[in-house]
Structure 1
């Protein structure tokens, strides 16, 4: 077996957010069987420094700082007729790096992580190509369009249409297209019936996310409800605004001391403003999310727009926390009934209240959830399918 070229839209380190967790563990898995050459974007100066921390799993690393503005990306998209989420990642330096690796190395497999990186696939090459879309992004923008007003509605409709066309074109060129859940894979199969599509689910490092692990404990007087996530991501923003504004007041009628902690990096003005509401804390970036999860009486995932497997739910389950999730946040996870699924202001709030009212039942649910993650979501089990796709049998 020859070398592997791994293209990623973000440096797969540290594994502290959903996309980086998946790309990091896949990169590690692939690196056990062949030399891996990583080419990835860095969102900021700190990300750019993380590339070298992947040396133990990679044969070479090329990290390019992404600095293109949204305005420039949209302008290029309008001029070229391409999706803006693709032009946002268009960069000559990455294109040159791909050409250099392909010319200088015996590349047997190209693993493309995230649809934005598919633009760097060569027109002709003997390597097998595995396209990990993760989620069906065109469906995400279609959902955005449904709830948006003009002119943003037109922008999202355009992106959904062009991105859908781009996804189908890419799927027709590659050996196999991967998605994070069976539901996402099935959804894409309906739009690209001739493509080979498979699901490779996310896992969770249950040794790291362990309530008995080595992390700093937090003092948590009174009931603590915790949401974790990247707080400049629109579905997360909408989720916490809804919960803080509409669900938390209902909960505090029964549990006046209940607090809601929004834990995650890059909260914008709309999220920071929630800290003015009674009982709401906005932490921003934290050194270790496990302390907050361990202190949580209940972890919540009230997303109305969610694609694939929600890592925030798996993390809370692995930390033996009782979880209340919306149907959208829960649908990609085979939780076996170990979390509560609820919707609507009253229904979601009542589910949280029931857990706060019965700490013994909440503890039992959390323990069952942890057992479920250990049995069902270990990374080695989730990624075993890659050995079939990229191993001696290949993806063809």
Structure 2
């Protein structure tokens, strides 16, 4: 297949969920198909990954990011029904690059990553188009609005309503869609043309580790500047004094890029909270932790932090929504709790019971190995592509 693959960010930074997903899709599908990558050039990420993608893709087209133009488009969209996410990325330069690419080569399919690129979906009479929603951004915004008390919470509430209409309308305009979890598909209205394409784990990057662990280390991994992660870490950190009464050596380690000031203040004032910040590789930190947590209240989609911790043999405690997104079985694959005290008690159970920790580690790793690989994810997307082209042919 000849595929024109559009993303909002160059897929060269594997610490970001949507970039990781795009990178794995390109890494596994580009050797078998002629893929042209069209994306904004943010000059970031790993130079080695950048070179790899240039080698894998038939062509890479980079469009300069016009930040001033993004702000103008967002301002103009405020009095309309257009989601700000869509307005920000409705770049005339990207549209011209898309037009030029289609004029210079014949494609079988256009692939758009994320609903925010919905403005670039070709007319139904033109090329088949697949949108990888990854998750329901409207659900993400609605959950943020519930917990963010600042101005961004008000903006999220407005954006959630706009996105809900926009995402459903987009599902009706494109040939097919992909989403990472059944809950996100339900948030889109369970359209028949939207298919499950799960996230995955690279077993070479996150191998099972049975080496000795820091007995009281609690790991939280993620982009520490992203609101759902900031909210989750802050929510759990309030329970650290209670946890340290039972286990004085307990330490919450916050691992990830762009630590928010809110988390830095927590680390300065709450005993047992430490911001490690960005790291070159996450696995060594997971392999040393006695337990990994995903106390997610906001956000959507499948949490890579859970899949990667499970693959590494680190027992996981998560909220119900986070566990349900990966369809894990509570008390078998991980522990689940939603109230602050109950969540803290579940963490203490794992820290204090080696047999329970070993059972969760083994079951979690087997669960992920059985269900979540990037190869299976890429194959699922490939089927969506073929079905979209086949439906157009029929």
TM-score (normalised: structure 2): 0.90
Cα distance change, pair 374–79 in 1 and its aligned pair in 2 (3 A) = same
How far residue 21 of structure 1 moved from its aligned partner, in angstroms, is: 1.8
Contact 1:52/1:61 (<8 A) preserved: no
How far residue 151 of structure 1 moved from its aligned partner, in angstroms, is: 5.8
**Are 1:241 and 2:234 counterparts?**
yes
**Are 1:320 and 2:318 counterparts?**
no
Match of 1:205 in 2: 202
Match of 1:46 in 2: 44
Match of 1:68 in 2: 67
Q: C-alpha separation between the residues in 2 aligned to 1:158 and 1:391?
A: 36
Match of 1:357 in 2: 352
**Are 1:85 and 2:85 counterparts?**
yes
How far residue 240 of structure 1 moved from its aligned partner, in angstroms, is: 0.6
- 5+ residue gaps, structure 2, are none
1:15-56 Cα deviation digits (max 9, x unpaired): 2321122111122233133110001224x4324955443023
After superposing the two structures, state which structure 1 stretch, 195-204 or 228-237, moved more: 195-204
Q: C-alpha separation between the residues in 1 aligned to 2:137 and 2:277?
A: 26
Contact 1:227/1:261 (<8 A) preserved: yes
How far residue 376 of structure 1 moved from its aligned partner, in angstroms, is: 1.2
Match of 1:169 in 2: 169
How far residue 220 of structure 1 moved from its aligned partner, in angstroms, is: 6.8
Among 271, 279, 286, the alignment partner of 2:272 is 279
Contact 1:108/1:126 (<8 A) preserved: no
**Are 1:307 and 2:300 counterparts?**
yes
How far residue 395 of structure 1 moved from its aligned partner, in angstroms, is: 5.4
Match of 2:322 in 1: 329
Match of 1:225 in 2: 218
Match of 1:255 in 2: 247
Q: C-alpha separation between the residues in 2 aligned to 1:151 and 1:387?
A: 41
Contact 2:131/2:178 (<8 A) preserved: yes
What is the aligned residue count? Answer: 386
- CA RMSD of the aligned region, Å? 2.4
How far residue 212 of structure 1 moved from its aligned partner, in angstroms, is: 4.9
Contact 1:128/1:175 (<8 A) preserved: yes
* SS of the residue 1:110 aligns to: strand
Cα distance change, pair 319–106 in 1 and its aligned pair in 2 (3 A) = same
- 5+ residue gaps, structure 1, are none
* SS of the residue 1:382 aligns to: helix
Q: C-alpha separation between the residues in 2 aligned to 1:181 and 1:86?
A: 22
Mapping for residues 372-391 of structure 1, pairs under 5 Å? 372-391=367-386
Q: C-alpha separation between the residues in 2 aligned to 1:48 and 1:63?
A: 16
1:300-353 Cα deviation digits (max 9, x unpaired): 000112312110000000000000001121111132431111121111111111
* SS of the residue 1:45 aligns to: coil
Contact 2:290/2:315 (<8 A) preserved: yes
Contact 1:45/1:65 (<8 A) preserved: no
**Are 1:338 and 2:365 counterparts?**
no
Mapping for residues 4-15 of structure 1, pairs under 5 Å? 4-15=3-14
* SS of the residue 1:107 aligns to: coil
Contact 2:180/2:197 (<8 A) preserved: yes
Match of 2:287 in 1: 294
Contact 2:213/2:290 (<8 A) preserved: no
Q: C-alpha separation between the residues in 2 aligned to 1:266 and 1:387?
A: 34
Q: C-alpha separation between the residues in 2 aligned to 1:136 and 1:52?
A: 31
Contact 2:17/2:304 (<8 A) preserved: yes
TM-score (normalised: structure 1): 0.90
Contact 1:389/1:395 (<8 A) preserved: no
Q: C-alpha separation between the residues in 2 aligned to 1:257 and 1:148?
A: 31
